Structures are given as structure tokens and as C-alpha cells.
Amino acid sequence: MSTKPSSHEFQAETKQVLDIVVNSLYKDKEIFVRELISNASDALEKFRRLQLTEKDVCDDNLDLEITVSTDDSGNTLTIQDFGIGMDKEELVQNLGTIAHSGSKDFMEALKSDGEKNEALIGKFGVGFYSVFMVADHVQVFTRNWKKEGKNHCWESDGSGTYKIDEVDGQRRGAKIVIKLKEDFSEFAKEDRIKEIIKKYSAFVQFPISLNGEKVNTVDAIWMRSKKDITDEEYEEFYKFQSNEYEAPLMRMHFSADAPLEINSILFVPKRNMEKMGLFRNENKVSLHCRKVLIEAEPKGLFPEWLRFLRGVVDSSDIPLNVSRETMQDSELLRKLNQVLTKRFLRFLNEQSRKEEETYLEFWGEFGMLIKEGAATDFTYKDDLAKLLRFESTALDAGKLTGLDDYMDRMASDQDEILFLFGKSRESIEAGPYLEAMKARGIEVLLCTEQVDEYVMQTIREYKEKKIISADSDEVKLDKIDQDDEKETLGKKEIKSLCKWLKESLKEKISDVETGDRLIDSPVCIVGADGMGGASARRVMKMMQGPEGGMPAPSMKLQVNPKNPIIRGLSDLKSKDEPTALLVANQLLDNALASANLLDDPKEMIARSYQALEKITAS
Ligand code: ADP
Ligand code: MG
């Protein structure tokens, strides 16, 4: 019956990937066994799901299992499953091209990240091609699950081309026959393969037999009691489940009976690939019902900002035959999401107390996602706020603290949690805003990432304390005994100077006042509208870009009558107004720059040349 075999070329990217995989990618050649067994397991899983809705399948008497056989003399290894199989089109699609949109990313990632190739391969699904590291040529005999349909054999030596042939006598699923290269005859030996399967495939949820003998115990580790599971087992499970090569950073094994019955193991990876700018994490926590996989990557099981999580969730409350679509917007999924998210956030908080170092490592990698949650998800606002970490004036540079610890240190009459935003700790410390807080012994959290200010403004309140920027005029400061020795302007002089400044700078600011903030610096900007002032303005700028169209909150200029420049200016304005104006404008620009609000320094630079000219000419 056979028709003529058809020849095909691998897609260009595929060729490239093949090249990399074969020549350089894995140090551990044995990993190809794991890749093929995991494909077999995926195919079986897909078939198991399909069977819930499709009754009309071929070979429905076959057990869902994986059989492996070695042929030492023929130097071949065969891996067969009775899974979903492939038709001709699927063969071309799945084995001739890299079906994943990630293929391009993979190439990019390889270029930028030569070190971690091994960790990358699993993520991009180039698993099948790993067989060509050891194979002289490979045949994939396969039959799709449908009753009607033909059997095919796909064959390639992994160079430029492959061919597809019609064949007879296949059963449902796929049988991969690997003719090994001379150098890799070890993989045709039973003992060697047994060792590899035991090592990598301990958690496959289908029986695996090797030359007729069963090698794995199908084990749902998450259903077992915590105390019976070793660290190594958890680690191996994580690596198996999430295609990782590194141990996880944290794990949470959690069981509950109410309100839902849940058994779950959640892992946090060591690294946040998103942070490296490579790609967006996808939540890979699989959903099971009494050990049976419902969905490998269910949408909506966790909030977006927990997309780095790996692991399993098993709940016997899920109906087995639920379809993906109805699952996605089901009440049950929302409930699961809520319970798990709450529990996981509690776990993180516990970790931050018990395992501070690990938590800080977590914060370094995934803090941006916790901030994303805090800024976007009101449901968990307080739990997320609790997890935030910042530098603080109360701690040495490089040390981090959270809102709870801040509150523990705060004086009993302090009503607000204060923060300041700046490009770095140094630039905040050099600015004019800290001095008032320092003089009063008030701790200020130092926010140095773009999003911090937005996050703080969104949270707004923590345990009934307002969170406000220390440059906002909402901050009410007590009078303190300032150095009374210092010379200061008289009441009348102050009034007249403020009036003059307000008039001279009216295009740029709404008011001028003396205040209790400044100790040494001559001037600073404060908000004038109770909206956080400078802080709100920066956030608006961040969101709209410098040309933003919304009216900015108005600002006040605060002046320090004890500062020699201000005292001098009070005189100068009546003696030499043009120079006084120069000084006034320059002071304003300095204040704006200190508040991170100076958009374009060119006017300031031009003006400072004028000033220098005056100085050098006199
Ligand atoms: P991944 O497993 O990440 O999708 P692979 O390169 O390992 O990537 O496999 C590519 C595709 O080939 C799979 O997605 C699947 O569609 C198909 N495939 C591989 N092995 C089998 C198999 N044993 N049965 C059915 N389809 C398979
Ligand atoms: Mg695979």
C-alpha cells in the first residue's frame, strides 16, 4: 500500500537549533532519554484527557504506559507510548519546525546567555532534537488517535532533511527507534538506561517498562505526608516538573481540607528569567484531581504577578470531565486561586522571618513581581505591602527593611510612614528633604526604583498609617529647637522676600513660604495640593512621559531664612534686581533637580553661564 515517501527540509530555525543542540548544548548527553520519555508522558496525558470527551478512538484497549527496549547488538534504543500520536501534518508541524513561538526567543537567549544553555533548552521545547546528539538516525513510527487514519514513519539523521513514509501495522501512539552513533553505544545497554530513567523520570505519572520489566513507581509526591519526603525528592520532583536544572529557591508543601480540599507543592525558582529581560514568565503550576492531570498550565489558577511559580495543585473538588473553557471561568478556580494566593503570601511572610537570607534572595529576584502585585491587585494589598523591602535612613546602605519593622521603630506619636524617592540612596541623602526628618529623628524609607513611588501611592495606607512622601506638604512637622545662634531674616523681610519670589517665579510655582523643613539647604519644593505634590508629579511624569498632557499638581517653594544665600537674596532684590532674579531662578531649578523634577537642564545651564559671567566680571 505504501505510497512514495515524501522528503522535507527542516525549517531554517530548526536547522539552527539542531545544530546547537547537537554540537554544543548539553554536556549530559543522557538527558535525551528524559526528553523523549517526557514527550511520551505528555502524549499519554493528552490522550487521557481526550478520552474524557472522545469515545471513538483507535486501539482503546491499550494501556496508558511507556515501553522502552534496548538492543545491545543492533545498537538501538526504542521508546514507545500509546499516547495521542501524530498524523502526517502533525509530524511536519511538530518535528520539522519548532512549533513554539519561543524558538526565536531561544535563539536570542542563546546568544545572550551562553552559560545557561542547559537551563534554557527545556523552556523552549527543543527537547526532541536532543536525540540527535547521540543518534545516527531516528525513526518515529506513529499513528494518530483517530479511528480512521494512516500510519507514518518519520525519519531523519538530524542534518538538513527528513522524510515521511506511509507504513503498515502501527498501533496508536508513537514509537521512536534510535540508531545510536558508535560512540554512544552505552545507551543501548539496559543497565545504563535503567539508571537514567530512575534518575530523571521518577515522577512520570505512567508506568514505564524496560525490556518488559517495570522500572518506576508511579508516585504523586504531593499526596504524601511532608515528613516522609526528603529534600532530594522534592528537588528531583521540581526539576522533573518544571524542566529545571537548578534546585528551587523555596518550596511550600501545603494541604488543606476546608474550604477546599487541596494538596499542593509550590516552588520558587532560583532565577527570574524575566529580570534578565529574556521573556515573560508563564505560570507552570499544573492542576490535578486525585493525581490525574487536569491541565498542565491552567490559566487563572494564580494571579498574574505570581507567574514565576512552579509546582502542582491537586484538588478533589474539581470535576474530572470539566472542559478547559468552563474551567477557566469557573467559581472553583477563583476559589482555588484565592486560597492558594493567600496561603502563599503568608508563606513568604513566614520565610521573611524565619529564613531572612533566603527571603532577601527571593526579593532580589522576584521583588519586581511583588511590587507589580502591590500596584495592581487590591485584593492582596496588605499581604503584599508586608512583603515589600526598602533601604532606610535607619539602616546602613545595602540593608533592607519592611513596613512592619519600620512601624516597630516608629515613635508612638508618628502618624505616617514616610518615604523618599530618588535615583539612588546617595542622591536622596544629598537632597534637601531628609534634613528635616533627620533633625527630628524620623525614619524615612528610601525608594530608588522607578515603580516604587507608584507602588507607595497605590498602597497609600498600611495598618492605619498613611504612607506619604517626605517631600509632600501633608507631612506635619513638629517645631524643634533649631540652632538659635544662627542668623535669620526678620518677619518683615521674610514676608517681602516671599512676596517678591512668588511674583518673580509665578509661571512655575504656586506659592512661596518659609517652612520648618529646611535646616541647612536654602530651598526645596513641596506639594501644594495635598496630593503628594512632587511625588504625584513624578508618578504622572513616569506614566505620561515628559510631554504628559494632564495638568501637573501645583508646587510650592519653601525657603530657609537662616540660609546665607536666602539672607543675601533678601538684600540683593532691592539693590540689583536682575542678578536677584538670576539667583531666584537658579534656586528654583536646584530645588526641582533635587526633587527629580527638572526635565531639561538647558535653561539652567544657560543661566548658570550668565551667573558665572557676572562673577568673573566683577
Ligand atoms: P515539547 O515537548 O516541549 O513540545 P519537543 O521538541 O520535545 O518539544 O517535542 C515537539 C513536539 O513533538 C511535541 O510538542 C509534540 O507535539 C510532538 N511529539 C514529540 N514526541 C511525541 C510523542 N511521543 N507522541 C506524540 N507527539 C509527540
Ligand atoms: Mg518535550
Highest CATH level, class, for 221-361: alpha beta
Which residue blocks in 355-477 are alpha helix, DSSP H? Answer: 356-376, 381-387, 403-409, 425-430, 434-439, 450-459
45 Cβ closer than 6 Å to some ligand 1 atom: no
Distance 319 CA to ligand 1 centre (A): 28
Alpha-carbon radius of gyration of the chain: 33
User: pLDDT value at position 111?
Assistant: 63
In the chain, where are the structural domains located?
6-214, 221-361, 491-529+548-617
Query: Cell 469557573, residue?
Result: 330
Q: Which of 39, 44, 124 to mutate to test the pocket of ligand 1 (most atoms within 8 A of CB)?
A: 39
Peptide bond before 5: cis, by omega within 30 degrees of 0? no
453 lines ligand 1 (CB under 6 A): no
Give the separation between CA 211 and CA 585, rounded to whole angstroms. 87
128 lines ligand 1 (CB under 6 A): yes
* Assigned C-alpha cell, 148: 480512521
Provide the greatest CA pair distance for the chain.
109
Instruction: Give the three cell numbers for residue 539.
Output: 508618578
Task: Identify the pLDDT of residue 102.
Answer: 47
Give the pLDDT confidence score for residue 124 in this predicted structure: 55
Q: Is the dihedral of CA 329, 332, 333, 334 positive or negative?
A: positive
**Which residue's alpha carbon is at the smallest distance from atom 10 of ligand 1?**
94
Write the residue with the smallest CA distance to atom 14 of ligand 1: 94
CATH, domain range 491-529+548-617? 1.20.120.790
pLDDT on residue 529: 45
Q: Are the C-beta atoms of 313 and 286 separated by less than 8 Å?
A: yes
Please tell me the distance between residue 101's alpha carbon and the centre of ligand 1 in angstroms.
15
Burial string for 454-493 (b: 16+ CB within 10 Å, else e) reads bbbbbbeebeebebbbbbbbbbeeeeeeeeeeeebbeeee
pTM of the entire predicted model: 0.71
Ligand number, closest to the Cα atom of 80: 1
The three grid cell numbers given for residue 584, joined into one nine-digit string = 531666584
For residue 79 and ligand 1, the question of a CB distance below 6 A is answered with: no
Q: 212 in the Ramachandran plot: left (φ > 0), alpha (ψ -120 to 50) or beta?
A: left
CATH class of 6-214: alpha beta
Q: How many residues does the chain have?
A: 618
CA of 363 to the centre of ligand 2 (A): 31
CA distance 176 to 45: 18
Q: Atom 13 (ligand 1): residue with closest C-alpha?
A: 94
Ligand 1: does its nearest atom lie under 6 Å from the Cβ of 298? no
Task: Indicate which ligand has the atom closest to the C-alpha of 131.
Answer: 1
- Contact between 468 and 417 under an 8 Å Cβ cutoff? The reply is yes
**Does ligand 1 have an atom closer than 6 angstroms to the CB of 86?**
yes
Per-residue cell: 433: 528633604
* Averaged pLDDT, groups of 10, the chain, 618 residues long: 80 80 70 89 90 86 94 97 95 79 58 56 66 94 92 93 93 97 96 89 88 87 93 90 88 92 96 81 85 82 95 86 65 92 97 97 97 94 97 96 96 92 89 88 94 92 94 79 74 94 90 85 74 64 58 76 93 93 93 83 88 85
Residue 490 to residues 39, 215, 495, 501, 577, Cα–Cα distance (Å): 83, 92, 9, 16, 20
Spacing, Cα 128 to ligand 1 middle (Å): 7
